[in-house]
């Protein structure tokens, strides 16, 4: 599958689009003033230990305290195996950390919404070919490398690592690397860890000890695959910096780097800005005429599949089957495009035939394997729903680019003008029982005032007669439909 990577850079923002066969599959955005924290290493200070939640709040110098769960507190194992194995006894967090303690921690999940960053005490440093685990002695191989090659690669990596001095995991793009390249990466990662430890001895708690690469550098390290044909960037200055960085650390990826000199903006080549606008909407149209409805909430994301205008050509079962098959492709793409994470519920159209359900589920899981983020999908539930999870490490596209509407406060709906009118009538009656003004003045949005002057005029006049006071109206265009003020004159 042909893949192209487009990089649109400006001083305030970097945007990366991954395009496969002419269709945008992934979008990555990093803003200079809102740079992500995942991978950063801090010297934190334990602010509070919560035994009831088996967690602790750690001050790492950010606006909100970060969160450390007992499952993310690293413990050395006698046999050198990584922690977290099934059945392994967990030491309570109150016996591992205490308030005021200085702690070396790494961010594993960015702050999302009202939640602070999530931390781990097991540090991992990513290089071009390897991931270094300085507190461990485990030698691992990427799960994406064929199983029959792993033992030979593990033996080779063990020989290069030499005496125990930290664990290493071979990344997918290190499968064909030479011994010299692997040795260079090992030396670079160990030098980085030495620099982190030295900084931890001289800097105060709350200090940043190590920062991960920026987005356009991570393109070469993390996003380039053997399917990548070209990497095009529209900034001459950043192209020179990225080429220099790539030649030193990722020469094979740097060879695919090109400076885009076209007249049109680089994202216009594949209508990427239009795709971003679509990815912020609820509805996703399918080519067949069906459509998806994507709703993102605090707890989970739901995806509903509908046939829409697709009526098929044979029978009802085939129409539903074809719509669901197309939806399986579209949903997997939307998860990557929107960077949706956490719990996701997919409501495919109900299928009567077992073979149709198996085919749709198989195709859906096949499409999910293309995702570089870890996903896990279950079977159809008794209600015909597919429950799945997708690892969430950073904000979704909508949360990054949008904010709650001031008019509806994020509800997605506002009360009708008539509902607001009746709220105002009740409020005036409540005020009349406590105060004795000369006149009541209602200041409200134009639609509410217009309704009072037309359909609700009789009710307003009746209330005025009942309380024995005049009620005047004042239209205020700056007010939202739910906003109003009652002035006592």
For the chain, the average pLDDT equals 89
Segment 246-250 shows an average pLDDT of 82
139-141, strands of its sheet edge to edge: 125-126, 130-133, 167-170, 139-141
Maximum C-alpha span of the chain: 95
pLDDT surpasses 90 at 349 = yes
Res 172: pLDDT: 79
Selected residue with higher pLDDT from 395 and 260? 260
User: pLDDT tens digits, residue range 427-474?
Assistant: 999 999 999 999 999 999 999 999 999 999 999 999 999 999 999 999
Res 310: pLDDT: 62
User: pLDDT tens digits, residue range 97-140?
Assistant: 999 999 999 999 988 877 899 999 999 998 878 999 998 888 99
pLDDT surpasses 90 at 177 = no
Segment 15-33 shows an average pLDDT of 91
Domains of the chain with CATH codes: 3-35+214-273 (3.30.420.60), 41-83+91-210 (2.40.50.140), 282-400 (3.40.630), 417-488 (3.40.1260.20)
Res 83: pLDDT: 47
**Structure tokens that stand for 63 in this block:** 């606006």
Q: How far apart are CA 376 and CA 203, in angstroms?
A: 41
User: pLDDT tens digits, residue range 408-423?
Assistant: 777 788 899 999 999 9
**Structure tokens that stand for 367 in this block:** 């499409």
User: pLDDT tens digits, residue range 290-318?
Assistant: 899 999 988 899 999 998 766 655 678 88
User: pLDDT tens digits, residue range 269-290?
Assistant: 889 999 999 999 999 999 888 8
User: pLDDT tens digits, residue range 209-228?
Assistant: 999 889 999 898 888 887 89
- Torsion angle of the four alpha carbons 203, 204, 209, 215, in this order, in degrees rounded to the nearest 10: -130
Give this prediction's pTM. 0.76
pLDDT surpasses 70 at 335 = yes
Selected residue with higher pLDDT from 415 and 162? 415
């Amino acid at each position: 599958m042909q893949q192209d990577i487009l990089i649109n850079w400006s001083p305030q923002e970097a945007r990366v689009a991954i395009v496969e066969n002419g269709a945008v599959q992934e979008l990555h955005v990093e803003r200079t003033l809102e740079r992500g924290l995942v991978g950063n290493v801090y010297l934190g200070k334990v602010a509070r230990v919560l035994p009831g939640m088996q967690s602790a709040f750690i001050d790492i110098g950010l606006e909100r305290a970060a969160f450390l769960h007992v499952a993310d507190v690293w413990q050395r194992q006698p046999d050198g195996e990584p922690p977290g194995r099934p059945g392994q006894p967990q030491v309570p967090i109150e016996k591992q950390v205490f308030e005021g303690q200085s702690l070396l921690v790494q961010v594993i999940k960015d702050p999302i919404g009202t939640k602070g960053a999530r931390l781990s005490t097991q540090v991992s440093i990513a290089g071009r070919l390897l991931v270094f685990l300085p507190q461990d002695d485990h030698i691992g191989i990427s799960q994406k490398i064929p199983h029959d090659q792993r033992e030979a690669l593990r033996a080779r990596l063990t020989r290069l690592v030499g005496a125990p001095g930290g664990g290493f995991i071979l990344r997918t793009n290190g499968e064909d690397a030479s011994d010299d390249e692997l040795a260079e990466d090992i030396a670079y990662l160990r030098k980085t860890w030495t620099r982190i430890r030295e900084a931890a001895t001289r800097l105060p708690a709350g200090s940043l000890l190590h920062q991960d690469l920026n987005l356009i550098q991570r393109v070469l390290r993390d996003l380039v695959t053997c399917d990548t044909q070209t990497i095009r960037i529209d900034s001459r200055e950043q192209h020179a910096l990225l080429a220099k960085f790539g030649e030193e650390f990722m020469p094979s990826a740097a060879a695919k780097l090109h400076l885009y000199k076209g007249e049109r903006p680089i994202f216009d080549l594949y209508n990427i800005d239009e795709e971003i606008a679509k990815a912020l909407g609820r509805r996703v149209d399918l080519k067949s005429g069906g459509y998806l409805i994507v709703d993102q909430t605090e707890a989970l994301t739901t995806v509903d599949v509908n046939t829409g205008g697709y009526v098929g050509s044979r029978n009802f079962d085939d129409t539903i089957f074809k719509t669901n098959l197309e939806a399986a492709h579209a949903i997997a793409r939307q998860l990557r495009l929107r960077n949706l994470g956490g719990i996701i519920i997919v409501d495919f159209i109900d299928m009567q035939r077992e073979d149709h359900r198996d085919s749709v589920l198989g195709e859906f899981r096949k499409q999910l394997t293309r995702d570089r983020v870890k996903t896990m999908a279950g079977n159809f539930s008794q209600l015909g729903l597919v429950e799945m999870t997708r690892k969430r490490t950073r904000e979704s596209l909508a949360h990054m680019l949008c904010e709650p509407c001031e008019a509806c406060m994020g509800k997605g709906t506002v009360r009708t003008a008539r509902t607001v009118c009746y709220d105002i009538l009740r409020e005036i009656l409540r005020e009349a029982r406590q105060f004795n003004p000369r006149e009541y003045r209602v200041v409200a949005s134009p639609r509410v005032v217009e309704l009072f002057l037309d359909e609700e005029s009789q009710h307003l006049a009746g209330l005025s007669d009942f309380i024995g006071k005049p009620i005047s109206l004042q239209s205020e265009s700056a007010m939202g439909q739910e906003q109003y003020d009652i002035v006592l004159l």
